[in-house]
Amino acid sequence: MKRSKTSAAKKLSSKEDSPKTHSKQSSTVSKRVLEMPRSGNRKPKAPMPAQHQEKPGIESEIRPRPKYLAPTYKGSEKLKDKVAIVTGGDSGIGRATAVLFAREGADVTIVYLKQEQSDAEETRAAIEAEGRRALLIPGDVTDSAFCKRAVEKVVKEFGKLDVLVNNAAFQQSQEDIADLSEEQFDKTFKTNIYGYFYMAKAALAHMKKGAAIVNTGSITGLEGEKELLDYSSTKGAIHAFTKSLAKNLVEKGIRVNCVAPGPVWTPLNVADGTAEDVKEFGSEVAAKRPAQPEELAPAFVFLASEICSSYISGEVLPVLGWEQVAG
């Protein structure tokens, strides 16, 4: 299994929600979140259990469950009273980031696929368990009109927007370029780079000096990956988009950075590889295991917070399981 299959959320869908709307399902999910273990720091190593899910993949069905609560991470108001949007925030890196943003004092909106409603409810419960407000907006980030509506809804609900995390993505392996259809190529680009552009453009209409955008890149965008031609290309584009937009926004005082993960234990990979591939996922990096989402989330906090990174913009931060990149 390629180390390069990194985490993000998936292509996004349609019904909107409110932080004031709570169902019986939400109450049940809240109880499950509160009952999850919050101690211990052991990370599962390869071989992982053989498993495969149909896209987009549901995190609650993965075994072992991806870790996102980061029990040893102590918040210190790095994002106190900030308002953030995390696309792909229902699961994986997006979920873990949303939880730590809340622990640092932010109110968080997550954008996600309608089919992932159960995962989104668990993320909302985790945000609220940190004492912050959560807003759920399913929708399609390939639709520029939806991205604009989503941002406007957040501003109407919370009165401002301080942080955007572009994290939603689509990934499908193909062994040969002959197997990569034009339809898949287009879908990958529309989700992974058009979606980032649409969300950034919509968000910047409301962002003020001191705001931040953090994009999710990938080791595949730095080194390439032979079975992920389209995905790797979009991640390289995200890295260049990050650096270019950072330069564009210097005079406005808005920072733009990127986190480039290696292998991360998320639904994205369980829904892409075969069951046998998943067994060895992450085994080829120096750490001999995939990252847990909670190990990526602090990097997003660091780049989102002026307290931590006011002097940093236009950077791509690799988080690769003790691996290194040249340069």
3-state secondary structure 107-135: EEEEEECHHHHHHHHHHHHHHHHCCCCEE
Q: Is 44 exposed, middle or buried (0-12, 13-18, 19+ CB in 10 A)?
A: middle
What average pLDDT does the segment 280-293 reach? 87
What strands, in cross-sheet order, belong to the sheet with 212-216?
134-138, 107-112, 83-87, 163-166, 212-216, 255-261, 316-319
For 242, the enclosing helix (H) or strand (E) is helix 229-248
CA quadruple 297, 302, 304, 307: dihedral, nearest 10: 150
- Give backbone dihedrals phi and psi of 109, rounded to 5 degrees, phi first: -105, 135
Among residues 68, 198, 231, 311, which one is catalytic? 231
Amino acid at 327: G
How far is the C-alpha of 327 from the C-alpha of 325, rounded, in Å? 7
Q: How far is CA 150 from CA 71, 109, 131, in A?
A: 31, 9, 23
- 310 near 284, Cβ under 8 Å? no
What beta strand segments (E) does 225-296 contain?
255-261
* Residue 39 predicted with pLDDT over 50: no
Secondary structure of residue 168 in the 3-state scheme: strand
- 294 near 69, Cβ under 8 Å? yes
* Residue 273 predicted with pLDDT over 90: no
How far is the C-alpha of 192 from the C-alpha of 218, rounded, in Å? 11
Q: Which domains does the chain have, with CATH numbers?
A: 24-29+52-319 (3.40.50.720)
Bridge pairing between strands 212-216 and 255-261: parallel
Judge whether 231 counts as a catalytic residue: yes
The model's pLDDT over 109-167, given as tens digits with 9 standing for 90+, comes to 999 989 889 999 999 999 999 999 999 999 999 999 999 999 999 999 999 999 999 99
Greater pLDDT, 74 or 277: 74
The model's pLDDT over 91-100, given as tens digits with 9 standing for 90+, comes to 999 999 999 9
How far is the C-alpha of 87 from the C-alpha of 214, rounded, in Å? 11
